[in-house]
Amino acid sequence: MNRIATDPFLPPERLLLGPGPSPVAPEVLAALAHHTIGHLDPAFIRLMDELKGMMQAAFNTTNEATLAVAGPGSVGMDAAVLNLAEPGDKILIARNGVFGMRMSEVASRGGAVVVPVDFEWGKPVDPAVVDAALEANPGVKIVAFVHAETSTGVLSDAGAIAAVAEKHGALTIMDAVTSLGGVPVLVNEWGVDAVYSGTQKCLSCPPGLSPVSFSPRAIAHIKARKTKVLSWFLDVTQVMSYWGGEGARAYHHTAPINSLYGLHEALRRLMIEGLEYSFARHRQAHLHLVDGLAKMGIDFLVDEKYRLPQLNAVLIPAGVNDAAVRSSLLNDHNIEIGAGLGPLAGKVWRIGLMGEGARIQHVDRLLGSLKIVLASQTA
């Protein structure tokens, strides 16, 4: 029997220190509540132009085709892969975690021929191995990889991977869902052709939008396709008729207006803080966590030089009940951390220090609560 709510839904106040979503600033929440206006209103077009400029700054790119796709980072993945890869195209996908595997699924569903190059989970993508795989597989048109693998907390050398792809004449797709705003993302400098991210990580915005950017070379490639992009909604050449240019915009879809208000405020706050300051804040919070966990005898999955400061995969101590700890943190302390995925399930916790979550006071609260929970398990 269906239940009709008699009272409004009031969510509990959680400290979100998992793999996403991240804590949302009060200013961003307030922006979401602004009056809704039309998606072709001149005031909204002005907001879109400002959004585009701030996304270009965050991605460190001058790409004209920079916009926010309606949907989470996985929709950005669909947009990048399905626009660039035609049925029958060879796409090399470097896989060192869940999201590289997911890219393979998206590409294969679109009819592309996937050339998988697998790495141990918790290790970065090795550009030399990618180079050798491209030598062994002539005709690869696209190289795809995850810059910051959310399932393991490892950071790969995006510039080196993109350079290898360029050497072999291949386009590049980069997943920057967890990296954007937390570590440098240098799209133009690295020569990345398509990049996508998500709002719910280091941008500290609610989930539901995916910032994406396509290079001029990528747009030329898309326009030269022999077949139509499989998704009408995600066809970037059509979406850009709404996001691009000056003055009149062509109707494509009804934009998620209030969500874009929130992204505008989140990016505005990031621009005011400054990217380098944001990177330093994430790094400082990470080092504080490392120090605190070391005192409890808890180590990390990823070698120090490859660790992602905003997503920390920590090894669960022997004899500790993974689910019980996470449940107690959530229900008794109102703190959310994440479980391990795939082969890391039951072996690691994923602690996110993203955006507003990357604050020393939040790390201290987590460390104090974790100490209490672990003591209760061994008592």
Percent with pLDDT over 90 in the chain? 94
How many whole angstroms separate alpha carbon 235 and alpha carbon 141? 19
Per-residue pLDDT at 245 exceeds 80: no
Q: What percentage of the chain has pLDDT greater than the value 70?
A: 98
Residue at 245 is within a domain: yes
Give residue-wise pLDDT tens across range 83-118: 999 999 999 999 999 999 999 999 999 999 999 999
Parent domain of 310: 15-20+274-378
114 and 57 in one domain? yes
Q: Say whether pLDDT at 247 is over 60.
A: no
> Residues 337, 215: one domain?
no
In a domain, 4, yes or no: no
- Confidence band of 377 (pLDDT split at 50, 70, 90): confident
Task: Check whether 300 has a pLDDT greater than 90.
Answer: yes
The answer for residues whose C-beta is within 8 angstroms of residue 19's C-beta and 6 or more apart is 150, 151, 178, 311, 338, 350, 352
DSSP 340: P
Residue 3 lies in a domain: no
- List the one residue out of 82, 311, 374 whose CA is nearest residue 177: 311
* DSSP 3-state of 16: strand
User: What is the tens place of the pLDDT at every residue in 13-63?
Assistant: 999 999 999 999 999 999 999 999 999 999 999 999 999 999 999 999 999
Same domain, 222 and 263: yes
Report pLDDT for 328.
Answer: 98
Is residue 379 predicted with pLDDT exceeding 70?
Answer: no
Q: What pTM was computed for the model?
A: 0.96
**Quick check: 67 and 240 in contact, CB under 8 A?**
yes
Claim to verify: residue 235 and residue 92 sit in the same structural domain = yes
Last residue of a domain, one of 270, 298, 333: 270
**Residue 328 within a domain:** yes
Min mean pLDDT across 75-79, 236-240, 263-267, 286-290 is at 236-240
Residue 59 counted as domain residue: yes
Same domain (yes/no): 265, 316: no
Tell me which of 7 and 301 has the higher pLDDT: 301
Residue 246 pLDDT grade (very low, low, confident, very high; cuts 50, 70, 90): low
Q: Are residues 257 and 301 in the same domain?
A: no
Element holding 44 (H helix, E strand):
helix 42-59
Query: Is position 8 within any domain?
Result: no
- At 244, the pLDDT band (50, 70, 90 cuts) reads confident
Instruction: Give me the chain's average pLDDT, please.
Output: 96
pLDDT at 346 over 80: yes
The CATH number covering residue 65 comes to: 3.40.640.10
pLDDT in tens, 126-150: 999 999 999 999 999 999 999 999 9
71 and 170 both lie in a single domain: yes
Q: Is the same domain home to 302 and 266? A: no
Domain boundary, last residue among 210, 245, 270: 270
- pLDDT at position 378 is 72
| CA-atom Rg of the chain in angstroms | 21
Structural domains of the chain, count: 2
Q: What per-residue confidence (pLDDT) applies to 3? A: 78
What mean pLDDT do residues 230-242 have? 93
CA–CA separation, 261 and 219 (whole Å):
27
Report pLDDT for 360.
Answer: 98
Peptide bond into 8 cis (omega under 30): no
Mean pLDDT, range 260-268, rounded to an integer: 98
> Are both 38 and 82 inside the same structural domain?
yes
Q: Check whether residue 141 and residue 161 sit in a common domain.
A: yes
Whether the pLDDT of residue 284 is over 60: the answer is yes
213 and 55 in contact (C-beta within 8 Å)?
Answer: yes
Is 358 found in the same domain as 265?
A: no
Residue 317's pLDDT band, with cuts at 50, 70 and 90, is: very high
Contact 337, 351 (CB under 8 A): yes
Could you tell me if 152 and 105 lie in one domain? yes
For residue 103, being part of any structural domain is answered with yes
Tell me which of 230-234, 247-251, 349-353 is least confident: 247-251
Average pLDDT over residues 167-192: 98
Identify whether 55 is part of a domain.
Answer: yes
**Final residue before a domain boundary, out of 247, 270, 293:** 270
pLDDT in tens, 209-226: 999 999 999 999 999 999
Neighbouring-strand partners of residue 352: 311
For the domain that residue 345 is a member of, what is the CATH number? 3.90.1150.10
Q: Rounded mean pLDDT of 166-183?
A: 98
